[in-house]
Structure formats: structure tokens, C-alpha cells
């Protein structure tokens, strides 16, 4: 009995020591330390060089500006009021950039000429914020690409994470092949889109945008998932998993809009070219997963 009582006393003293230890740890936290902000694409590492594109090439000439929302995340304490922060544009040490088979010379974007920055806000009670950037269409973009490299600037309340930057590449002129379509399709066959051609790319987007008139609610869902010009980097698959938009995403078995892509975009695109340009490509020749032509999307199942 005495031994049990001693054992119980030891447990109480041990627990009390643990509470004191936790309390000491909390008291040791430096509340004067600045909160950190960083750009993130969902990966765990904060030390990342993130890059995205803002192309004008496929847009009507009347479109002179594009809005870009750059997400930022908070590493620190939330507040009960909206907070603003600061960013700075830094020099891009890259001199040339190639995307989708198109090589361009880079130059540092100039504020007021190539872009403007509007809102830099961390909303009250939130650990996520945004930077509202407007990029501008200029004549220089016909043969060069403007590079805007943003970095969180230190202010009274916030500081950035070392080597964490966000780059926006602003371009026009020749349309580059997107990452979900082989730009080398002339030698590397791709079954449901055939060879990449700029005019075919425009026709594909025309059909995609046409869904808005045929099925407005479906179109709104697809734009949310894939972007207005199929320019999102990811979408949510049937299993609720964030999935990269890459080659073959149209007919991926886990794509919840697989049949919509086929009905409204892929099949009409195929029939349009087969009817109007019968000698442009080889249509419908394939064998299993290999082939020498543009496979009929009717074979999607």
C-alpha cells in the first residue's frame, strides 16, 4: 500500500514537471520575431524557385492586359485585421528561355511598362494571402519574353524566406506548345491531338470556350478545374487527388471530365481537321498504344 502511494506521488510530481517544462517552452517563444511569408505550390520545401507563364499569343489583339494572382502563405501568427506586405522585383539571371519548342531572349520586366502590382494582402484570421499583378501586352513581347521575379521584401511586420521567389514570364508572338501536348509530335506521335500546330491550338480553345454557350454550368466547372485557357497546373481527379495537367490528361481514367473533353473538344477538333484538311495528317492509323497518325477520339473509353 505504501509502495503504491509513493508511486502515485511520483507520477503527480512528474506530470507537474512536464507542465512546467511546457510552460517554460512557451515563455521562451520570441513573440517579437517577425512573421514570414513565402510563395508555395503545395510542396513541403519553402526554399523554392516557382515559375509560371502569362502568354498573350492565343488571345485576341484587343486583350492588352492579363490579371495574375500570386498566392503567398504565412509562417507565423494570424491577426484579427487585414495586413499588407511588400515585395520587390529582382534581376533574372537567366538570359534565354525555351518553352514548348519556342526559344526567347529574356529581359527584366519594367514596372509601369510591363506590369503593375495592386493588392498585397493577408486577410484577417488567415494564413494565406495574395498578390494581384496586372501584366501588359507590349510590342517587345513579339520576339522577347519579359521576366518578373518577385521576392518578399522585409517590412516592419514581415520578412521572406531565403531563396524563395516567384517568376512570371510574359510573352506574345508565336504560341508555344503547352506541356500537355508534345511539341515534337511531328516525330513523336500523340494519339488524341495529333501534331501540334498553332492554328489547331487556337481551334481547340475555340471549341473549349464554346462549351459556355452549350452547357454554361459545365463550362464554369471546367474553367475552375483547368483554367480559362487550359492554363491551370493541376486539377482535382475523381478520387479528390490534386493531379498535374500534363500529356494525356484529357483521357486520363481518373479525370471526371473525360467524356466532356471528348464530346465537346477532342472529337469535334478531329472531325473538323479530317473534313477540311484531309491530307494534312494521317487520321485514325494506330495499333494499340502506338501509331503513326492522329487517333480518332471515338476510341476513348
Does residue 178 lie within any of the structural domains?
no
Grid cell in block for residue 217: 454550368
Percentage of the chain modeled with pLDDT above 90 = 48
Domain span at residue 80 reads: 35-171
Q: Is residue 218 domain-shared with residue 135, that is, in the same domain?
A: no
Grid cell in block for residue 74: 504565412
Say how far apart CA 56 and CA 40 lie, in whole Å: 25
- The pLDDT value given to residue 269: 96
Strand partners, 238: none
Strand partners, 149: 90, 167
Q: Which residue has the higher pLDDT, 276 or 27?
A: 276
- The pLDDT value given to residue 206: 94
Q: Phi, psi (5° rounding) for residue 37?
A: -120, 145
Number of domains in the chain: 2
Q: Is residue 158 domain-shared with residue 226, that is, in the same domain?
A: no
- The pLDDT value given to residue 32: 64
Q: How confident is the model at residue 13 (pLDDT cuts 50, 70, 90)?
A: very low
User: Rounded to the nearest 10 degrees, what angle do helices 216-226 and 198-214 cross at?
Assistant: 130
Helix (H) or strand (E) holding 275: helix 267-276
- The pLDDT value given to residue 11: 37
Q: Is residue 251 domain-shared with residue 161, that is, in the same domain?
A: no
Say how far apart CA 73 and CA 275 lie, in whole Å: 50
Grid cell in block for residue 43: 510542396
- The pLDDT value given to residue 222: 96
First to last CA, the chain: 75
Say how far apart CA 226 and CA 70 lie, in whole Å: 17
- The pLDDT value given to residue 2: 42
- The pLDDT value given to residue 52: 86
| CATH value at residue 106 | 2.60.40.1740
- The pLDDT value given to residue 204: 95
Does residue 287 lie within any of the structural domains?
yes
Look at residues 190, 269, 247, 230 and name the one whose alpha carbon lies nearest to residue 55. Answer: 230
What is the signed CA dihedral for 130, 131, 135, 140, rounded to 10 degrees? -120
| pLDDT for 232 beyond 50 | yes
Question: Lowest mean pLDDT: which of 130-134, 179-183, 200-204, 283-287?
Answer: 283-287
User: Can you give the length of the chain in residues?
Assistant: 301
Quick one: average pLDDT of 224-235? 89
Does residue 14 lie within any of the structural domains?
no
Does residue 161 lie within any of the structural domains?
yes
Say how far apart CA 266 and CA 272 lie, in whole Å: 10
Contact between 101 and 183 (Cβ < 8 Å): yes
Q: Is residue 41 domain-shared with residue 138, that is, in the same domain?
A: yes
User: By 3-state DSSP, what share of the chain in percent is helix, strand and coil, each rounded to 5?
Assistant: 30, 30, 40
Q: Is residue 164 domain-shared with residue 267, that is, in the same domain?
A: no
Q: How confident is the model at residue 76 (pLDDT cuts 50, 70, 90)?
A: confident
Strand partners, 65: 136
Q: Which residue has the higher pLDDT, 32 or 124?
A: 124
Grid cell in block for residue 177: 506548345
Q: Is residue 167 domain-shared with residue 202, that is, in the same domain?
A: no
Amino acid at each position: 500500500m505504501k509502495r503504491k502511494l509513493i508511486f502515485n506521488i511520483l507520477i503527480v510530481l512528474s506530470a507537474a514537471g512536464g507542465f512546467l517544462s511546457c510552460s517554460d517552452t512557451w515563455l521562451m517563444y520570441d513573440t517579437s520575431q517577425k512573421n514570414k511569408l513565402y510563395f508555395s505550390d503545395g510542396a513541403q520545401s519553402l526554399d523554392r524557385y516557382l515559375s509560371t507563364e502569362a502568354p498573350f499569343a492565343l488571345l485576341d489583339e484587343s486583350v492588352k492586359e492579363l490579371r495574375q494572382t500570386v498566392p503567398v502563405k504565412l509562417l507565423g501568427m494570424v491577426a484579427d485585421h487585414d495586413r499588407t506586405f511588400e515585395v520587390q522585383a529582382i534581376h533574372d539571371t537567366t538570359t534565354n528561355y525555351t518553352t514548348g519548342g519556342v526559344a526567347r531572349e529574356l529581359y527584366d520586366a519594367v514596372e509601369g511598362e510591363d506590369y503593375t502590382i495592386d493588392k498585397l494582402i493577408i486577410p484577417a484570421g488567415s494564413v494565406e494571402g495574395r498578390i494581384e499583378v496586372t501584366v501588359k501586352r507590349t510590342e517587345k513581347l513579339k520576339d522577347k519574353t519579359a521576366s518578373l521575379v518577385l521576392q518578399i521584401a522585409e517590412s516592419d511586420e514581415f520578412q521572406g524566406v531565403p531563396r524563395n521567389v516567384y517568376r512570371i514570364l510574359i510573352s506574345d508572338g508565336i504560341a508555344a506548345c503547352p506541356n500537355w501536348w508534345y511539341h515534337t509530335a511531328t516525330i513523336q506521335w500523340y494519339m488524341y491531338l495529333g501534331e501540334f500546330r498553332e492554328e489547331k491550338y487556337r481551334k481547340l480553345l475555340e471549341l473549349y470556350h464554346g462549351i459556355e454557350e452549350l452547357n454554361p454550368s459545365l463550362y464554369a466547372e471546367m474553367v475552375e478545374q483547368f483554367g480559362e485557357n487550359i492554363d491551370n497546373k493541376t486539377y482535382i481527379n475523381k478520387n479528390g487527388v490534386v493531379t498535374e495537367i500534363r500529356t494525356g490528361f484529357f483521357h486520363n481514367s481518373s479525370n471526371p471530365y473525360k467524356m466532356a473533353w471528348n464530346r465537346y473538344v477532342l472529337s469535334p477538333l478531329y472531325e473538323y481537321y479530317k473534313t477540311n484538311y484531309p491530307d494534312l495528317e494521317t487520321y485514325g492509323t494506330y495499333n494499340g498504344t502506338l501509331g503513326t497518325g492522329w487517333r480518332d477520339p471515338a476510341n476513348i473509353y
